[in-house]
Structure 1
Amino acid sequence: MTQPATSAQTTPTDDQKRAALRKHIARQLFLELILPIGAYYGLRAAGVNPWAALVAPALLTLAFLGYDALRHRRVDGVALFTLLMIVVGTAVSVVTGDPRTLLVRDSWLFGAIGLWILATLFTQRPMMRSVARTIVTVKVGEAGYREWDARWDNDSRFRHQLRVLSAVWGVGFALDAVIRIVVAYSLPLDAIPLVTTLQWLAVLAVLISFHIVYVNRNGLKV
């Protein structure tokens, strides 16, 4: 007779959680950092004009995000927003034919994301509550996520903490957008993708450092 599963068999270990999270982060880094900047400089080295070198990575990212939505049979709100901004930015650049317009597209994207994050503070689903679904599910599964998210209904401190995290990320994205606009119109064209990537990594490091410290101090870690 088959023995019932134990909690050790059904609950992910700390090592399994870390491994799942590392895999998720590595995938995101590939899609959002390595693919766009690597493809741009590779195409430029091959003699492709700046406009095409910028559009091609965007189309590749579009394909990966679309495949991911089909594979999981669920459309992630943030991914959908990113897809929309890529399409809009590319369409505008087609009309203008200006590579710098396409580069400023990232400013629109980051600025719009920042404003959207800040707008969610006034709803029942601040950004961090929505984004946490992917991260928490990766670490502890759907059941673990539902248990974590259930705290929203009866824990005012939990609601406050998620709103604080969301506000910090929203302000970070908005400020990053302003910096990107300044860079896009003040540096040589081929320097912009690398500079904006390094600048974003610096901003991201600050945001993630704050996030980790805040999550650990307030018992939000799963």
Structure 2
Amino acid sequence: MTHPTAAQSVPADRTATQKRAALRRHIARQVLVELLLPIGAYYGLRAAGVSPWAALIAPALLTLPFLAYDALRHRRVDAVALFTLTMIVIGTAVSVITGDPRTLLVRDAWLFGAVGLWILATLFTQRPMMRSLARTIVTVKIGEAGYREWDARWDTDSRFRHHLRVLTAVWGAGFTLDAVIRVALAYSLPLDAVPLATTLQWLAVLGTLIAFHVFYVTRNGLKV
């Protein structure tokens, strides 16, 4: 996958162990910021007697410094992070107007639904979501030059383009389905049960998507 120029400019000759370690660190950080921090903050604040509305707002605000840090560190604004930030701001503004905690819970459904539809919309462009998202993951594993070599296959390999579009379609459908389930849970369960239920539900959806992704990537030669 690598060539002499790439090997000289970045550590593209990383061993398989180093690649896995880099990816594990990246995933661990994502789990901390996107899962453990929000759910832990919500129930911690509720146990301390904070209102449901404030307990839902605070975890969203806690993610903002991490998004800003990533933008400064990589010197570019990630499209997905920017979209997430926008939805947090919009959802918070709407909840302030309505004063309804369930509006914040449904905000997550709108976020996931909008992300799902956006992912599906990218199928009709030259940069389907999976091609853009792969930049972070591939760069983490084999460096910037390695990513450029991997991404260059888009212009020369029709099967590569097909595989990335299949993965994009599956992830888009998964996010859209998740949004529908979130709305149903938000309005059918007791308020304090919703964050945990939606988290467990999301883990089930995410686990299924990741399992398919790993299988498909490995089977079709996309793995780096």
Which category of TM-score, normalised to the shorter sequence, fits these structures? over 0.9
Deviation at 1:57, TM superposition (A): 0.5
Aligned 8 A contact 2:12 2:145 in 1: no
Structure 2: any 5+ residue segments left out of the alignment?
Answer: 1-6
Residues 34 and 216 of structure 1, relative CA distance in 2, 3 Å threshold: same
Measured against aligned partners, the alpha-carbon deviations of 1:69-101 in whole angstroms (never above 9, x if no partner) come to 112211111111111111111110011010000
Structure 1: any 5+ residue segments left out of the alignment?
Answer: none
SS of corresponding position for 1:11: coil
AA at the equivalent of 1:144: G
Give the Cα–Cα distance (whole angstroms) in 2 for the partners of residues 134 and 8 of structure 1. Answer: 15
AA at the equivalent of 1:42: G
Give the Cα–Cα distance (whole angstroms) in 2 for the partners of residues 46 and 180 of structure 1. Answer: 26
Deviation at 1:63, TM superposition (A): 1.8
Answering whether residue 118 of structure 2 is matched by residue 116 of structure 1, we say: yes
4+ residue stretches of structure 1 with deviation over 3 A?
5-10
Deviation at 1:128, TM superposition (A): 0.2
AA at the equivalent of 2:32: F
Alignment of 1:1-222 (within 5 A): 11-222=13-224
Deviation at 1:68, TM superposition (A): 1.5
Aligned equivalent of 2:3: none
Residues 6 and 120 of structure 1, relative CA distance in 2, 3 Å threshold: closer
> Which region of structure 1 is more displaced relative to structure 2, 68-77 or 48-57?
68-77
AA at the equivalent of 1:83: L
Residues 214 and 9 of structure 1, relative CA distance in 2, 3 Å threshold: closer
CA-based RMSD of the aligned residues comes to 1.4
Give the Cα–Cα distance (whole angstroms) in 2 for the partners of residues 7 and 172 of structure 1. Answer: 38
Identity level (%): 81
Aligned 8 A contact 2:33 2:63 in 1: yes
TM-score (normalised: structure 1): 0.96
SS of corresponding position for 2:50: coil
TM-score (normalised: structure 2): 0.95
SS of corresponding position for 2:138: helix
**How many pairs does the alignment contain?**
218
Give the Cα–Cα distance (whole angstroms) in 2 for the partners of residues 66 and 74 of structure 1. Answer: 10
Give the Cα–Cα distance (whole angstroms) in 1 for the partners of residues 11 and 64 of structure 2. Answer: 37
SS of corresponding position for 1:121: helix
Measured against aligned partners, the alpha-carbon deviations of 1:38-74 in whole angstroms (never above 9, x if no partner) come to 0000000000000000000100011211122112211
Give the Cα–Cα distance (whole angstroms) in 1 for the partners of residues 123 and 10 of structure 2. Answer: 37
Aligned 8 A contact 2:56 2:101 in 1: yes
Give the Cα–Cα distance (whole angstroms) in 2 for the partners of residues 9 and 19 of structure 1. Answer: 14
Give the Cα–Cα distance (whole angstroms) in 1 for the partners of residues 15 and 156 of structure 2. Answer: 27
